[in-house]
Amino acid sequence: MAVRFISTLVVAALTLFAIVPAQAEVVFQDVTSPKGIHAWLVEDYSVPIVTIRFSFSGGTSQDPVGKEGLANLMTSLFDEGAGDLDSDTFQIKLDDAGAEMSFSADQDAVHGSMRMLADQQPEAFGLLKMSVESPRFDQNPIDRMRSQIVSGIMANAQRPETAANEQWAKTLYGDHPYSRTNDGTIAGLTTVTAADLRAFHRAMFARSNLHIGVVGAIDAETLKTRLDQVFGDLPAEAALTPVPDIVPKLGQDVGITYNLPQTTIYMAYPGVQRADPDFFAAYVMNYILGGGDFSSRLFAEVREKRGLTYGVSSSLQNSDHADSLVIGTATRADRAGETLKVIQDVIAGLAKDGPTEAELASAKKYIIGSYAINSMSSSVAIANTLVGLQDVDLPIDYVAQRPALINAVTLEQVKAAAAKLLSVKPTILLLGPAATPADVPTPTPAPALETPTQP
Amino acid sequence: MVSMTGLVRACALALSIAALSLPARAEAPTTAANEAVVEHYVLDNGLEIVVIPDHRSPIVTHMVWYKIGSADEPPGKSGIAHFFEHLMFKGTKAHPAGEFDRVVSEIGGNQNAFTANDYTAFFQTVPPDALPTMMSFEADRMRGLILTEDVIGAERDVVLEERRSRIESSPRSLLQEETQATLFQNHPYRIPVIGWLHEMEQLNRVDATAFYDRYYAPNNAVLVVAGDVEPEAVLALAKTTYGLVPRGPDLPPRVRPSEPEHNTRRTVTMNDARVGVPSYSTSWVVPTYRNARPGEAEALDLLSEILGGGTRSRLYQQVVVKGDIASAAGAGYDSGAYDPSTFTVYGVPQGDNTVASVEAAVNAQIASVIKDGVTEKELDSAKTRYVRSLVFARDEQADMANLYGRELATGGTVEDIAEWPDRIRAVTAEQVQAVAQRYLDPSVAVTSYLLPPATEGK
């Protein structure tokens, strides 16, 4: 099956004269190997490389209590020896094969990727197979990578931002796995053994929880062979520990006092599930509130008109088991009260009256038109999109359906979403010299916020 | 390589900018059938144009680079280049403030800008049929900006908050700033791109207008267009937009104050309660591609890769893996700077090991290269990795646009980029050893330490 789409083109108001290039197209193919491994493929020969990205659902929320950091440590070891190759030999072969490989873990999945030169793809896929199927978890690399991770945790341990993030997560998620950091803890990492790593790998790396995206100079028939080679011998079913859904706890005030030149503010409001019929109404609302880089209400009021901050934004955050809307900024400490008031006024205004027709129309145009630009700019971006869509169970023709889904959102629906989400008393965190939520400010610096893939 | 961190107009893009400092330069398209040809033009008013076709996705990246950066600022006006970058979004007679952002958003595009030591760049990523509009807006603000007093104050507050967010809140950033000011004794690379706080507070409309009139003109700019476009069409559009902007005054040669001889070893130390694990770095001022003797910058690039480029490097293998005393160690070289810039090595101790022991182990590796050179195998692997990274760089049109923009804005040419892989391949092991001997002299290095609070008796 192949689905074609071309980015929706909006006629620009000031077009001098039209250039009419042959429009580039990105075509998604659904590929199934003889052993039943599914992948989405974008065949593209513009650069002689192949990029593969995949996810195994699970992630750091699978870390057992007392072994926090297990998933993170595991992802640091896939290029540290596999099959009959020790760490040194494996890395030299990987380098000789002209390939770059990386693994990482977030709350909900372990992600892997490899970028290789097309003319060396057989060797590269051979190494990827060994990595995915039979990582060695030798003691020397375990100890080395563990000490690097521990060193990283220690390096940040005295930063007030670390304390703030920790309290923020505890306040919202209590003792749910989402309250933990992806890095893990020093105590947890210290207890992890090679046997733990092997068991964890066996439980999570299976065909049942695997999504794959491939982009580049490879055809569907060749890819089928490679899919069976790399993933075909994995266990059929993953053995994951169920993780409960959780509603973040709102209405809380958190203050971290530290003598800093700025006050950082986070605010958490309720979110909306990705599968909820109101998701796009909420998404559009968030764009108008603070999702648009230079065009949101928060940007206009807090930065542009008053110069109170360098960055202010809001973001809809969706995980497998929790959803929220988070606002963040950082402002000079002596104007933190003013900043908080401005943000609260913007929120109250949107909750009460909703957006204007003009704002809704602009938001829709951006959200529709930006998809190709934000999701298709490189092999890596496209592969990321291919996997991200599968991770949330969207169909392969989703990209073609998407503009209609967004255009269907009405002003009333956006008003309703604003009233519903923004009328709730948020959890507010303040980090700064006078961090008493009662008398001062609001949001935080964007770095701590995740940037979600564009839905 | 060490990136001279560019400042961006909003933080959302900071990551993507930082992420593209993989290789210093990329391979120009050669002869393979599936490769596009990079076109280079110059308009009558002096504007240089580079077009890099890439037909994978219906996207185009449109950039204008000005050959003006923080190192070109008048004395006492630090931060004006970056502040002015922000002011470029404040509107013209034809397009009032906010209109450009609104138009870009409504076509689903993104735009931003960034400032570095040697250049200032503005860019949009849009669907191809919006390119004429982008060129029209960008050409309009090249000379048509209107700056009123009321926009100056609020935007100055924004860049002051930017400085507080990026620098004042971070011990590491403050240390880096003062290390740079120690390493460079006379050259303006000693001054931070964002500016010193006390000078930023005094920047005003008169400064901004003078800066604009002097430096923002087609003969001091480079247009780079990468993506789903045809070069002839881009050239035709450029003539009817940028081509109508009159040439600006001729600028004097871009000569900055240069470094005197360095004769001392210097250290810069910061103790801060927020530091959980100590770390250190050592830097030297070394030549870069534009000003090095033939082959030296290429040799320094390879030295940086062999010594400290990733997990196969000497520092990682010998100090982290075999030495087992550091959790991180590496090297970097800012090869693309207009004037001589920095070569840096760094390390972070692991467990109970001390900074001093890591520093000694790193220095031993440098001494070993100085004394015995590098092996042919190390050299070949490093060359292969460099040339390969250029193929990977071609995968991201914004990376390619940045590569060409940076090269041309810092005195290079399209041919320099095309020839670079061959120049890298030609480097010998003797040349790598020679640049290590000549430039990595411990008696003139600047070493900086980021440490926890000093405790008694230590």
- The predicted-structure confidence for A335-384, as pLDDT tens digits, reads as follows 999 999 999 999 999 999 999 999 999 999 999 999 989 898 899 999 99
pLDDT of A446: 33
Q: Which residue intervals of A242-335 are DSSP H helices?
A: 279-286, 297-298
Q: Do B228 and A24 touch (CB under 8 A)?
A: yes
Q: Could you read off the pLDDT of B126-181 as tens digits, one per residue? A: 999 999 999 999 999 999 999 999 889 999 999 999 999 999 999 999 999 999 99
Strand partners, B146: none
Identify whether A38 is part of a domain: yes
Closest to B58 (Cβ–Cβ): which among A6, A117, A380?
A6
Give the Cα separation of B71 and B78 in Å (integer): 9
- A454 confidence band (pLDDT: 50, 70, 90): confident
Considering the domain architecture, whether residues A198 and A296 belong to the same structural domain is answered as no
Q: Which residues contact A19 (CB under 8 A, 6 or more apart)?
A: B128, B129, B131, B132, B229, B230, B233, B234, B237
Considering the domain architecture, whether residues B271 and B333 belong to the same structural domain is answered as yes
Considering the domain architecture, whether residues A226 and A277 belong to the same structural domain is answered as no
Sign of the CA dihedral with A137 first, then A138, A139, and A142 last: negative
What is the per-residue DSSP string for B134-197? HHHHHHHHHH-B---HHHHHHHHHHHHHHHIIIIIT-HHHHHHHHHHHHH-SSSGGGS-TT--H
Considering the domain architecture, whether residues B226 and B281 belong to the same structural domain is answered as no
B416: closest CA of chain A, how far (Å): 21
pLDDT of A74: 98
Phi, psi at A177, each rounded to 5°: -55, -25
Give the Cα separation of A322 and A172 in Å (integer): 10
The per-residue pLDDT of chain A, averaged, comes to 91
Give the Cα separation of A452 and A14 in Å (integer): 32
Identify whether B27 is part of a domain: no
Out of B73, B85, B138, B298, the active site residue is: B85
| DSSP state at residue A423 | T
Considering the domain architecture, whether residues B228 and B88 belong to the same structural domain is answered as yes
Considering the domain architecture, whether residues B326 and B379 belong to the same structural domain is answered as yes
Identify whether A222 is part of a domain: yes
pLDDT of B387: 85
- Residue A146's closest chain B neighbor by CA? B327
In percent, how much of chain A has pLDDT > 90?
87
Give the Cα separation of B194 and B189 in Å (integer): 12
Give the Cα separation of B138 and B144 in Å (integer): 10
Q: Is B199 a catalytic residue?
A: no
**Residues of B whose CB is below 8 A from A374:** 110
Mean pLDDT of A6-11: 31
Considering the domain architecture, whether residues A316 and A371 belong to the same structural domain is answered as yes
Considering the domain architecture, whether residues A172 and A56 belong to the same structural domain is answered as yes
- A197 confidence band (pLDDT: 50, 70, 90): very high
CB B195 within 8 A of CB B80: yes
Considering the domain architecture, whether residues B287 and B426 belong to the same structural domain is answered as yes
How many DSSP H helices and E strands does chain B contain? 16, 12
Give the Cα separation of B150 and B155 in Å (integer): 9
pLDDT of A452: 52
Q: Is A353 exposed, middle or buried (0-12, 13-18, 19+ CB in 10 A)?
A: exposed
Considering the domain architecture, whether residues B42 and B141 belong to the same structural domain is answered as yes
Considering the domain architecture, whether residues A36 and A184 belong to the same structural domain is answered as yes
Identify whether A244 is part of a domain: no
Considering the domain architecture, whether residues B181 and B240 belong to the same structural domain is answered as yes
- Residue B102 DSSP SS3: helix
**Residues of B whose CB is below 8 A from A382:** 57
Identify whether B261 is part of a domain: no
Residue B156 contacts A, CB cutoff 8 Å? yes
CB B414 within 8 A of CB B47: no
Between these two residues, B104 and A454, which has the higher pLDDT value?
B104
| DSSP state at residue B46 | S
173-202 in chain A: CB under 8 A from chain B: none
pLDDT of A24: 73
- Residue A360's closest chain B neighbor by CA? B106
Residue B328 contacts A, CB cutoff 8 Å? yes
Helix (H) or strand (E) holding A126: helix A121-133
Considering the domain architecture, whether residues A222 and A282 belong to the same structural domain is answered as no
Closest to A24 (Cβ–Cβ): which among B32, B57, B98?
B57
- Residue A158's closest chain B neighbor by CA? B274
pLDDT of A23: 59
When scoring A293, A334, A359, A362 by the number of chain B Cβ atoms within 10 A, the one with the most, hence best to mutate, is A293
Q: Which two tokens stand for residue A56?
A: 């195994």
Considering the domain architecture, whether residues A102 and A206 belong to the same structural domain is answered as yes
Does the pLDDT of residue A271 top 70, yes or no? yes
Mean pLDDT of B327-331: 97
134-173 in chain A: CB under 8 A from chain B: 144, 147-148, 151-152, 154-160
Considering the domain architecture, whether residues B237 and B291 belong to the same structural domain is answered as no
Mean pLDDT of B335-339: 96
CB A267 within 8 A of CB A251: no
B236 half-sphere exposure, CB direction, 13 A CA radius: 10
Considering the domain architecture, whether residues B304 and B223 belong to the same structural domain is answered as no
Considering the domain architecture, whether residues B390 and B284 belong to the same structural domain is answered as yes
Q: What is the 3-state secondary structure (H, E, C) of A198-247?
A: HHHHHHHCCCCCEEEEEEECCCHHHHHHHHHHHHCCCCCCCCCCCCCCCC
Identify whether B146 is part of a domain: yes
User: How many structural domains comprise chain A?
Assistant: 2
Identify whether B382 is part of a domain: yes
B256: closest CA of chain A, how far (Å): 31
Mean pLDDT of A201-228: 98
Identify whether B11 is part of a domain: no
Identify whether A4 is part of a domain: no
- Domain range for residue B310? 266-451
- Domain range for residue A213? 26-231
**Residues of B whose CB is below 8 A from A445:** 11, 165
Q: Do B277 and A151 touch (CB under 8 A)?
A: yes
| DSSP state at residue B211 | H
Looking at residue A46, which CATH number applies to its domain?
A: 3.30.830.10
Give the Cα separation of B238 and A105 in Å (integer): 46
Looking at residue B175, which CATH number applies to its domain?
A: 3.30.830.10
Identify whether B254 is part of a domain: no
pLDDT of B150: 87
Q: Which two tokens stand for residue A149?
A: 């991770």
Domain boundary among B197, B213, B244: B244
253-292 in chain B: CB under 8 A from chain A: 273-277, 279
Considering the domain architecture, whether residues A37 and A84 belong to the same structural domain is answered as yes
Closest to B108 (Cβ–Cβ): which among A155, A330, A366?
A366
In percent, how much of chain B has pLDDT > 70?
91
- Residue A264's closest chain B neighbor by CA? B165
CB B120 within 8 A of CB B69: yes
83-112 in chain B: CB under 8 A from chain A: 89, 98, 101-103, 105-112
Strand partners, A43: A216
| Predicted model pTM | 0.90
- A171 confidence band (pLDDT: 50, 70, 90): very high
- B13 confidence band (pLDDT: 50, 70, 90): very low
Give the Cα separation of B140 and B132 in Å (integer): 12
Q: Could you read off the pLDDT of B342-367 as tens digits, one per residue? A: 999 999 999 999 999 999 999 999 99
Identify whether B259 is part of a domain: no
Residue B391 contacts A, CB cutoff 8 Å? yes
pLDDT of B17: 27
CB B275 within 8 A of CB B205: no
Q: Do B109 and A373 touch (CB under 8 A)?
A: yes
When mean pLDDT is compared across A23-32, A394-403, B53-62, B306-315, the lowest value belongs to A23-32
- Residue B228's closest chain A neighbor by CA? A24
Does the pLDDT of residue B88 top 70, yes or no? yes
- Residue A88's closest chain B neighbor by CA? B312
Give the Cα separation of A315 and A293 in Å (integer): 11
Give the Cα separation of B289 and B332 in Å (integer): 15
Q: Which two tokens stand for residue B263?
A: 């004769």
**Residues of B whose CB is below 8 A from A303:** 158
Domain boundary among A231, A261, A285: A231
Does the pLDDT of residue A254 top 70, yes or no? yes
Considering the domain architecture, whether residues A87 and A154 belong to the same structural domain is answered as yes
Considering the domain architecture, whether residues B68 and B119 belong to the same structural domain is answered as yes
Return the closest-CA partner of residue B398 out of B120, B89, B60. Answer: B60
Identify whether A192 is part of a domain: yes
User: How many structural domains comprise chain B?
Assistant: 2
| DSSP state at residue A21 | -
Q: Which residues contact A287 (CB under 8 A, 6 or more apart)?
A: A296, A363, A366, A367
Q: Which residues contact A441 (CB under 8 A, 6 or more apart)?
A: A263, A265, A331, A336, A337, A339, A340, A430, A432
Return the closest-CA partner of residue B16 out of B120, B119, B112, B130. Answer: B112
- B8 confidence band (pLDDT: 50, 70, 90): low
CB B321 within 8 A of CB A144: yes
86-125 in chain A: CB under 8 A from chain B: 91-92, 95, 98, 100, 115, 117
When mean pLDDT is compared across A435-439, B270-274, B297-301, the lowest value belongs to A435-439
Residue A260 contacts B, CB cutoff 8 Å? yes
Strands, DSSP E only, in A33-185? 38-43, 49-57, 81-82, 85-86, 99-105, 109-117
Mean pLDDT of B246-273: 96
Domain boundary among B179, B213, B244: B244
B274: closest CA of chain A, how far (Å): 5
Considering the domain architecture, whether residues A134 and A260 belong to the same structural domain is answered as no
Identify whether B22 is part of a domain: no
CB A249 within 8 A of CB A426: no
Q: Which residues contact A265 (CB under 8 A, 6 or more apart)?
A: A327, A328, A329, A330, A331, A336, A339, A340, A343, A428, A429, A430, A431, A441, A442, A443, A444
Considering the domain architecture, whether residues B413 and B446 belong to the same structural domain is answered as yes
